[in-house]
Structure 1
Amino acid sequence: MVLRLGLVFSTSGSYAALGQSALAGALGAIDTLRDVVEIEPVIRDPGGDVARYEAAASELLGGGVRHIVGAITSWSRKDMIPVLERKDGLLWYPCPYEGFECNDHVVYLGAAPNHHVVPATDWIAAQGVQRVYLVGSNYVWGWETLRLARDRLQSAGIEVVGERYVPLGSTDHAHVVDEICATGAECVCNSLIGPSNTSFLHDLMARDPARRGRPGHMVSFNQTEADLDELGPAADGLLSAGSFFEEDAGAVLLQAARTYAPSGRASAFLASAHAAVEIFAHAAVSAGTDAPREVFAAASKGPVRTAMGDLRIDPVMRHATLAPRLALAEGGRFRVIGRAAAAIPADPYLARQDTSPAPRRPDLRVVK
């Protein structure tokens, strides 16, 4: 059996580093699976143009492809969903996202809000921080992650001293830097992506160098190794929450990064895309078909061994069970400082979260 698999990642454009890392993971997985099944990748690069995601999905699903691993932004995922519904395709989405979605044509393999926003904001509360500033890219990821962060921080008695959104890809944010310095915010929750994120951190560190290296002065729900090299020393002290960091990468993921990632770095985007291909392939072999319903049924029967570890897909909510981690950027690397003792089911609607004030101790084990 030869499986045709669409890989739709923006490897050019404003968030190319993230797309390149995810594509590297998918291609690395195809290499490791050659003894299990032959996978023919059909690659499309939308270049960060959201309209081209819909066109790419339509072309692939109209040309014999039934499964797609891809999309980086939630904007692009949401634009692909109507095509998936019309043409009965299945998207394996490997990126962290803001939650509040469950679609019969998507498998969600990235971190959900209880894997990133909740542990990160609980960590902020545990540090005794009193004043936080929120900044994000002006689209659904930024809006929703910061809405959740604002609610959880305020429930812990923390003052949100400002909140701004920057157009996707924009590097014009001097007014944001001015406000952060004027308000005296101890911590910045940052949901920017791509060049907006890179230029913002460089500009803020240039304006207020005393922040650099102070643990948790900047908190991100999606920062990974994919563009850590671009950030350089400006990232020192940044705390990130996610389902994977490079220090946990085994030989298989490191090989995929060396072979296919321009940065040579393993990231959560790379690891999750690798796992998405692994789960898809094993499920298709088990089902004996690439029919999306049968493949999903096989994928959600039980945990699947992947390069990230054993992953379980909830058969109802369609999300992966993941082990959240917190990590600090230091000298161009992330050092994990806390991790869940076991994998935690995704809670995309935050229906199972405690609505009382955020605890003063995060629900993760401290890593010495």
Structure 2
Amino acid sequence: MNTSAVHRVGLLFSHESLTAATEITQENATLMAIDEVNVAGGINGVPLAPVSAPVGAQPLDYRKAAEWLCDTQRVPLIFGTHMSSTRKAVLPVVENRRALLFYATLYEGFEYSPYCFYAGSVPNQNSVQLASYVIRHFGNRVLFIGGQYVYPRESNRIMRGLYEQAGGVVVDEVYLPLNAPQEDLTGVLKRAVALRPDAIYSTMVGRDIVKLYRAYRELGLDPARMPIVSLATNETDVAALTAEEAEGHITAAPYFATLPTEASRRFARAYQHRFGEDSPITAGAEAAYFQVHLLADAARRAGSLAVLELVAALKGAQFEAPQGPVTIDSDTQHTSLWPRIARINARRQFEIIYAARAAVSPVPYLVDHALDPEALALS
């Protein structure tokens, strides 16, 4: 391999943000995948060289870091950002420079950029399945609790449509500032006691997730009757909770570290061998991992990291990911994924209780809300 020349690629994950714990898993998985690509010969003999940008906690910090990566480091592409507010802060930078952003986090959909590839779930790959399952098993009265930014409001808009389609009722919709004090979470859950919904749909993120589940436990609420259901709660959040605080609550995602397939076990073993046996592995990390391999395969076929050739090669690209085979949709630049639902058990592990029988193609613009008959039918 020609180590005198390298392909520099940017990494944009924060160690200071509200979602830092999950972003660190995504950064780890990105670096691991880059090493695997290089061991396999890089891009036609030329290795990938990651350039990490120091980034603070706010969307403007991500924007400035992206400018540094593009203008000073001259990277043609960036892996990273996490919250929708940070992605939206960075998109104008890559679009203006005609660079590429690879985004590995679930989000609310309703977006397209020719300079972005999306490896995380959109609502038809997680919200539809979660709403269907919860309505079938718990009931159709739901309380929404979210943070004060774009993803919770847009996700709740879609979830409201799904519940109302089933004759359901949103009993209340509450938004709290990011980094909300513990007492604010307790106050919202006291409202849940009074309203008695069948489920609490949480779009809290990062450290605020931990506060919410802790407040729930302190109030003595019962997840067997009124669980917290979420798309964002993951293994890093559960690692910060006690078993009593975590057990019984439900998450939807394409990947859980407990997925019992050989591809998943191989990925988990490699990740924990490198980063520690107790290192949590998230769906965001799995997406960050497979998008590097998708990029590398496309770059080999394109012969370079030149943006126009790379975009053409990425459309329709496939990879045997830990979650199952994934494919980039040529029209939307989003990815087909494998919806799953899991319940947290007494060992703080996600036990998978529903799995789609095939990968679900992305529909970022979920205009027609439709419940999942397969998830509704589960007993």
Could you state the TM-score of these two structures normalised by the residue count of structure 1? Answer: 0.92
Residue 284 (structure 1) aligned with residue 299 (structure 2): yes
Residue 246 of structure 2 is matched in structure 1 by: 235
- Judging changes above 3 Å, is the alpha-carbon distance between structure 1 residues 287 and 133 closer, same or farther for their aligned structure 2 residues? same
Structure 1 distance, partners of 2:108, 2:226, is 21
Matches within 5 A, 1:161-176: 161-171=171-181, 172-176=184-188
Assess if the C-alpha contact under 8 Å between 1:166 and 1:196 holds in 2: no
Assess if the C-alpha contact under 8 Å between 2:254 and 2:338 holds in 1: yes
Matched to 1:31, the amino acid is D
Q: Cα offset for 1:361?
A: 5.5
Matched to 1:182, the amino acid is A
Equivalent in 186, 198, 219 of residue 198 of structure 2: 186
Assess if the C-alpha contact under 8 Å between 2:336 and 2:359 holds in 1: yes
Identity across the alignment (%): 27
Residue 197 (structure 1) aligned with residue 206 (structure 2): no
- Judging changes above 3 Å, is the alpha-carbon distance between structure 1 residues 100 and 262 closer, same or farther for their aligned structure 2 residues? farther
- Judging changes above 3 Å, is the alpha-carbon distance between structure 1 residues 66 and 215 closer, same or farther for their aligned structure 2 residues? farther
Deviation by residue 1:313-333 (Cα, 9 ceiling, x = unmatched):
011100000010011111210
Q: Cα offset for 1:247?
A: 1.4
Assess if the C-alpha contact under 8 Å between 2:146 and 2:153 holds in 1: yes
Residue 89 of structure 2 is matched in structure 1 by: 79
Structure 1 distance, partners of 2:153, 2:35, is 37
Residue 105 of structure 1 is matched in structure 2 by: 115
Secondary structure of the residue that 2:364 maps to in structure 1? coil
- Judging changes above 3 Å, is the alpha-carbon distance between structure 1 residues 148 and 12 closer, same or farther for their aligned structure 2 residues? same
Residue 246 of structure 1 is matched in structure 2 by: 257
- CA-based RMSD of the aligned residues comes to 2.0
Residue 118 (structure 1) aligned with residue 128 (structure 2): yes
How many pairs align?
Answer: 361
Q: Cα offset for 1:302?
A: 3.6
Matched to 2:67, the amino acid is S
Assess if the C-alpha contact under 8 Å between 2:158 and 2:369 holds in 1: no
Assess if the C-alpha contact under 8 Å between 2:200 and 2:227 holds in 1: yes
Q: Cα offset for 1:307?
A: 4.0
- Judging changes above 3 Å, is the alpha-carbon distance between structure 1 residues 40 and 231 closer, same or farther for their aligned structure 2 residues? same
Q: Cα offset for 1:235?
A: 1.7
Secondary structure of the residue that 1:250 maps to in structure 2? helix
Deviation by residue 1:20-59 (Cα, 9 ceiling, x = unmatched):
1111110111121222302111112423211111111111
Which piece of structure 1 moves more, 83-92 or 233-242? 233-242
- Structure 2: gaps (5+ residues): none
Could you state the TM-score of these two structures normalised by the residue count of structure 2? Answer: 0.90
Assess if the C-alpha contact under 8 Å between 1:115 and 1:324 holds in 2: yes
Secondary structure of the residue that 1:146 maps to in structure 2? helix
Secondary structure of the residue that 2:240 maps to in structure 1? helix
Deviation by residue 1:43-97 (Cα, 9 ceiling, x = unmatched):
1242321111111111111121011110010000001011111100100100000
- Judging changes above 3 Å, is the alpha-carbon distance between structure 1 residues 330 and 154 closer, same or farther for their aligned structure 2 residues? same
Equivalent in 52, 58, 65 of residue 67 of structure 2: 58
